[in-house]
A and B are shown apart, each in its own frame.
Chain A
Amino acid sequence: MRGAGGAEGREAQLTSDAPMVLTAPGPGALQAAALPAERSVRRRARGGLGRHRARAGILLSVPALVLVLFVLIVPIGEAIYYSMTNWNGISAQWVGPSTYTSLFKDPVFWRVLENNGILLVSVPVALAIPLGIAALLHEHVWLWKLFRSLIFLPTAVSWVVIGMIAVRLFAPSGIVNYLLGLFGLARLQTDFLGHEYTAILAVALTFVWSMIGTNTIIFLTGMSTTDPAIYEAARLDGAGRWASFTQITVPMLKRYFQFTFVITMITAFTALFSLIFIMTGGGPGYGTTTLEFFVYQQAFDVGQFGTGAMLGVVLFVLLFGVSLVQLKLLREQQ
């Protein structure tokens, strides 16, 4: 059965130069998948094949569920419970929801959220630059495929390695300070990682740089799905490059903006632990301690497992809230 029709075709498609696009479900796939299934269960389960199918379905899906329960679902429940206790990892005393009110009164917590805020502000920059680069690549000039591969390269490199190099580039004798001097901005030269607000700036800049590859590729994919005939029509109507970019490309990429915004924000809030660990260790002071780094610090440096769990819950709720808003915005547009 291996040669069964589509397999060959699909692989042939992969070896072509176009970026592979797997068939994706429409918005709201979560619900769409659930409903018709539930409805047809009773009707079909009576037949012999239906019962067989139901048994196969459970056999095939339960292993994944068990692992996810074990590593994600039960632990998030535990995190919510332990967030309301005084917990050192061995014994826990129940305190109650008042742990949250005392957290919200803690100025350190707000200082940490401020760092998350700064990273959030850098997200639009991490979208704007890749949008520009994708537009340049979409002109298909000489060697554009080589440029595309080079620009996408950092996606494969770990935050540890990127952080390790960034520390040297932001050092007093590093290239960033050298370039500032070169462009007559010598009074901005500083030991970036040595001061609270310049350190978070250095982390944010490194983060933006690292997201360029991923976001450029996503925008480029979006641009390549736009019908070339639209551009041709615009050109015949006398629209220049800039006009087609602002009037056609940007509006067509709306969905892609939402997607890159969400993944870039999730990255900023949940994937920068290693970068911060290597670049600054959260310092100076709380200068680069973001919420996710604070979780680690509270639990594994300070030994306050309860506080750590609570911060984890806050992070979860924060991301969940933003995703819900995002989903709602998407719905309203359709």
Chain B
Amino acid sequence: MSAAAPGLARRRPAARRAPRGRFRTVWKEARRDPVKVVIFLLLLAVSAGMLYPFLFMILNSLRSENQYLSGTGFSTVSWGQLFANLPVGRELLNSTLVCVASIAIILALSSAAGYAFAKLRFRRQGLLFFAVIGSMMVPLQSIIIPVYVNFAHLHLINTYLGAILVYAGFGTPFATFLMTTFFRGLPDELTEAAACDGLGHAGSFFRVALPMAKPALATVAVLQFIQIWDDLLVGLLFLQEPTNRTITVGLGVLSSGRVVSVPVLMAGSLVSALPAVLVYLFFQRYLVAGLTLGVNR
């Protein structure tokens, strides 16, 4: 249908010059096909349903405990309480540190391994590929107890390194799958030619393949950022000290610990959600690409 009657959004260039004309077009379209009006209204209702919880969070973070209970009035007192109860700055810093380090490891390992699996030929390649990619099947809960005990022996509990290794190890299989898929799409002639021209295979990887892989690397980074930033379980077990907690864990502990008022929790939720939402807003299409990649698996 969209081919027969081009979507209204596509007429934007003309509309930008004359906003009135745009609304007239919308109106004309609506008269010609009233079902579109119904669809528009339905989508409006769905969006309201998706947005309501966030609106609830934002509005109630701007209330005191009593204002929340009565549902009237606004104040910023809860934000003050949040900063008094939760070392927000420190926790945001911890989250950032853990995310950046884990993602750096994942990007380095998965792009190298992906290139090797897609473009090089070596003994036991099939076995290695199966080991790395097949590990995608292992759920976090199945390995978390042995990993916890192993890391306790290695004195890695309550260290950033411990949490980073778990996040990186858990993220690497899917990232490698994604990178292998991407590199397989690059023409062999390109990487072979570079290798024969004296760059060698390492040079061909670093100087030719990697610069072309930026979109795939971005997809991996965005997917992993959201996953690691939003994680509770690993943080709860591997970063237990108030000084090295991530923001998500801090919030989880705050909610289950001492009784804190709802508006304070809502303010904390808002702070913890904001960075991931901003990443989402700016890099939405990388996220979409990563999500739909597995369809043809």
Would you call B272 and A161 a contact (CB within 8 A)?
yes
Would you call A151 and B288 a contact (CB within 8 A)?
no
What is the bound-complex CA distance between A24 and B184, given in angstroms? 9
Q: Which residue of B lies closest to A253 (CB)?
A: B295
| Among A1, A5, A270, residue most surrounded by chain B Cβ atoms (within 10 Å) | A1
* Interface: B129 (CB within 8 A): yes
What is the bound-complex CA distance between A86 and B176, given in angstroms? 36
Q: For A75, give its contact among B129, B146, B186, B251 (CB under 8 Å).
A: B146
What is the bound-complex CA distance between A72 and B19, given in angstroms? 57
B14 → chain A, closest Cβ, in Å? 15
Given contacts A54-B120, A71-B166, A153-B277, contact A160 B3 (CB under 8 A): no
Give 19 CB contacts A-B under 8 Å: A22-B178, A25-B297, A27-B296, A30-B130, A49-B195, A58-B122, A60-B113, A64-B176, A67-B169, A75-B150, A153-B54, A156-B279, A164-B251, A214-B291, A222-B295, A232-B3, A273-B233, A315-B141, A319-B139
* Interface: A65 (CB within 8 A): yes
* Interface: A202 (CB within 8 A): no
Please provide the chain A residues from 54 to 88 with a CB less than 8 Å away from any CB of chain B in the complex.
54-65, 67-76, 78-79, 82
* Interface: A228 (CB within 8 A): yes
Would you call A162 and B186 a contact (CB within 8 A)?
no
Q: Which residue of A lies closest to B134 (CB)?
A: A30
What is the bound-complex CA distance between A113 and B108, given in angstroms? 39
Q: For A281, give its contact among B256, B279, B295 (CB under 8 Å).
A: B256
Given contacts A141-B40, A319-B137, A323-B137, contact A160 B252 (CB under 8 A): yes
What is the bound-complex CA distance between A24 and B145, given in angstroms? 34
* Interface: A125 (CB within 8 A): no
How many residues on the B side are at the interface (Cβ–Cβ under 8 A)? 135
* Interface: B86 (CB within 8 A): no
Would you call B149 and A67 a contact (CB within 8 A)?
no
Instruction: Give A147-169 as 1s and 0s: 1 = Cβ < 8 Å from B's Cβ atoms.
Output: 10111111111111110111011
Would you call B201 and A52 a contact (CB within 8 A)?
yes
Residues of B within 8 A of A (CB): 1-4, 7-10, 26, 29, 35-36, 39-40, 42-44, 46-47, 49-54, 56-57, 60, 105, 108-110, 112-113, 115-118, 120-123, 125-135, 137-150, 152, 165-166, 168-170, 172-173, 176, 178, 180-182, 184-186, 190, 194-196, 200-202, 205, 207-208, 211-212, 214-216, 219, 226, 229-233, 237, 248, 251-252, 255-256, 262, 265-266, 269, 272-273, 276-277, 279-281, 284-289, 291-297
Residues of A within 8 A of B35 (CB): 241
Would you call A159 and B39 a contact (CB within 8 A)?
no
* Interface: A278 (CB within 8 A): yes
Would you call A309 and B146 a contact (CB within 8 A)?
yes
What is the bound-complex CA distance between A108 and B252, given in angstroms? 26
Would you call A37 and B121 a contact (CB within 8 A)?
yes
Interface of A is mostly: helix
Would you call B51 and A295 a contact (CB within 8 A)?
no
Would you call B141 and A142 a contact (CB within 8 A)?
no
B167 → chain A, closest Cβ, in Å? 9
Would you call A56 and B139 a contact (CB within 8 A)?
no
Residues of B within 8 A of A281 (CB): 256
Residues of A within 8 A of B211 (CB): 1-2, 4, 7
| Among A63, A78, A161, A175, residue most surrounded by chain B Cβ atoms (within 10 Å) | A161
Residues of A within 8 A of B60 (CB): 168
Given contacts A22-B215, A158-B272, contact A50 B121 (CB under 8 A): yes
* Interface: A229 (CB within 8 A): yes
* Interface: A302 (CB within 8 A): no
Interface size class of A (residues with CB under 8 A): 35 or more
Q: Which 9 residue pairs across A and B have the least CB separation, nearest first? A: A71-B169, A34-B126, A140-B7, A158-B230, A156-B280, A57-B120, A56-B201, A57-B122, A23-B185
What is the bound-complex CA distance between A166 and B116, given in angstroms? 45
Would you call A68 and B54 a contact (CB within 8 A)?
no
Would you call A142 and B208 a contact (CB within 8 A)?
no
Instruction: Give A1-34 as 1s and 0s: 1 = Cβ < 8 Å from B's Cβ atoms.
Output: 1101111001100100001111111110110011
A167 → chain B, closest Cβ, in Å? 8
Instruction: Give A245-264 as 1s and 0s: 1 = Cβ < 8 Å from B's Cβ atoms.
Output: 00000000001100100010
Q: For A38, give its contact among B4, B52, B54, B125 (CB under 8 Å).
A: B125
Binds B, one of A94-102, A114-122, A130-138, A192-200: A130-138
Given contacts A1-B194, A11-B214, A20-B289, contact A65 B131 (CB under 8 A): yes
Residues of A within 8 A of B (CB): 1-2, 4-7, 10-11, 14, 19-27, 29-30, 33-35, 37-38, 40-41, 44-45, 49-50, 52-65, 67-76, 78-79, 82, 89, 133, 136-145, 147, 149-162, 164-166, 168-169, 175, 209, 212-214, 217-218, 221-222, 228-229, 231-232, 235, 241, 244, 255-256, 259, 263, 266, 269-270, 273-274, 277-278, 281, 291-292, 295-296, 299-300, 305, 308-309, 311-313, 315-316, 319-320, 323
- Known contacts A22-B216, A60-B116, A273-B141, then 16 further A-B pairs from the complex at CB < 8 Å, ordered by chain A residue: A21-B292, A57-B116, A57-B120, A61-B112, A63-B113, A73-B138, A79-B143, A136-B39, A147-B47, A150-B50, A153-B277, A158-B276, A164-B251, A274-B248, A292-B141, A313-B142
